[in-house]
Amino acid sequence: MKAAILGVGLIGGSLALCLKERTSCHVSGYDLSQKTLDWAVAAGVIDDGSRNLEEAVEDADFIFLAVPVGTIPELLSRLERQSLSPGCIISDVGSTKGKLVRWSEPFRKRGVTYIGGHPMAGSHRSGVEAAHSLLFENAYYILTPSPETPLSEVQKLSGLLQEATRAKLVIMDPFHHDRLVGAISHLPHVIASGLVNQVGRYNEENEWFHRLAAGGFRDLTRIAASHPVMWRDILMSNRGELLKLMDDWLSEMEKVRDAIKRGDAEKIEDFFRRAKFLRERLPERRKGMLLPSFECYVDVPDQPGMIGRVAMLLGEEGINLSNIGIMENREDTAGVLRLVFQKEEDLKRAIRFLNEAGYRVFSFD
């Protein structure tokens, strides 16, 4: 079997790695950038690469479009004019689905099936260098077939994706999808970027704003470092939903603002109480690479060798650390180490052990 990946970046490259690692597919890549293709072939992400679309999709059983959302229609229309293998299935990984619905009909007339797709896993990083074969593991992977799509073709695609990505395949109406991910992905990206821009303006007057930016600000705004072109395209193709969601957001903020203005302590407490209640009941995330890590923070004197000492102490106890780092925003004599574990059990043992060894340990879990 042959799979063609059009756009060998973070998501296309990760999908290619999954297909190569866990299926017998030959994986061909197509990208605008020759440098990307050369890198991807050398790193074993794809079997071969071409900047010629016809060559890349020749004899392909599966074609995956993994380019920015705004570029998907243009590529689909080029594919519409290509000769494709009969029975070929085309899918995409774009973050919005409603605008692509119209493509299933013209392909179906040619004996080719188009099924929209969206893996609900990713990163603020981009490019093939960030690709990883565990990226989609245990994440949801949404497919949005049209009502006319033959069930056998949906099963063929979901079977391949399940085997390759180890994601949880779900089927959804494309417009329903856009409202859902609008609320839990697109709106949060706008809010995070808005907050970073707002604080960035204050920081131009006084650089302590950035210096003091601690865990809360960083946790909330990681996604503001995502690819601007990708997010431009997502917002442009989900404008209708985004406008409704932003109206709701502004009225939510207006309510808090009112409560603050009126000094209504009860309303303010209710606002936080409700959010805490809901946040604590979010279903547990079980993603592969982006698995929620179990972490704690340890106060240590800022002296050379401290990281090694803590790591060695934990190693001697047989506690597996998956990451260790110094918090970037502490500059004086006390330092804070961030310790990350894959297992909750390791975190609990580490806290107990470090406390016994006299360290002050903080954890938010």
Ligand X SMILES: O=C(O)C(=O)C[C@]1(C(=O)O)C=C[C@@H](O)C=C1
Residues in contact with ligand NAD by the rule CB under 6 A: 6-12, 30-33, 36, 66-69, 71, 93-95, 118-119, 122-123, 126-127, 227, 230, 234
Residue 241 interacts with, from ligand NAD, ligand X, none (CB under 5-8 Å by kind): none
Q: Does 120 bind ligand X (CB under 6 A)?
A: yes
Q: Which is nearer to ligand X, 69 or 347 (CB)?
A: 69
Q: Does 82 bind ligand X (CB under 6 A)?
A: no
- DSSP for 277-290, please give it: HHHHTSPPP--STT
Which listed residue (14, 36, 123, 133) binds ligand X by CB under 6 A?
Answer: 123
Asked if 11 and 152 touch (Cβ cutoff 8 Å), the reply is: no
Residue 12 interacts with, from ligand X, ligand NAD, none (CB under 5-8 Å by kind): ligand NAD
Nearest to 135 by CA among 291, 323, 322, 288: 288
Q: Which is nearer to ligand X, 50 or 91 (CB)?
A: 91
**Cβ atoms within 10 Å, residue 139:** 20
Tokens of 294: 């179990």
Q: Within positions 11 to 70, which residues make up the interface with ligand X, using CB under 6 A?
A: none
Q: How far apart are CA 135 and CA 93, in angstroms?
A: 13
Q: Report how far apart, in Å, the C-alpha atoms of 64 and of each of 15, 105, 319 are.
A: 9, 18, 41
Which listed residue (191, 213, 223, 245) binds ligand X by CB under 6 A?
Answer: 223
Residue 18 interacts with, from ligand X, ligand NAD, none (CB under 5-8 Å by kind): none
CA 231 to chain centre: 12
Residue 185 interacts with, from ligand NAD, ligand X, none (CB under 5-8 Å by kind): ligand X
Q: Does 238 bind ligand X (CB under 6 A)?
A: no
Stretch that binds ligand X, among 52-60, 122-130, 244-252, 339-347 (CB under 6 A): 122-130
Q: How far apart are CA 40 and CA 289, in angstroms?
A: 20
User: C-alpha dihedral over 148, 154, 156, 157, to 10 degrees?
Assistant: 120
Binding mask 246-275 for ligand X (x = CB under 6 A): ------------------------------
* Residue showing tokens 């043992």: 349
Stretch that binds ligand X, among 36-44, 74-82, 120-128, 211-219 (CB under 6 A): 120-128
- DSSP for 304-365, please give it: TTHHHHHHHHHHHTTPPPSEEEE-TT--SSEEEEEEEESSHHHHHHHHHHHHHTT-EEEE--
Asked if 158 and 169 touch (Cβ cutoff 8 Å), the reply is: yes
Q: Which is nearer to ligand X, 113 or 238 (CB)?
A: 238
Q: Within positions 86 to 105, which residues make up the interface with ligand X, using CB under 6 A?
A: 95
Beta carbon of residue 120, minimum distance to ligand X (angstroms, whole number):
5
Binding site for ligand X (CB under 6 A): 95, 120-124, 185, 223, 226
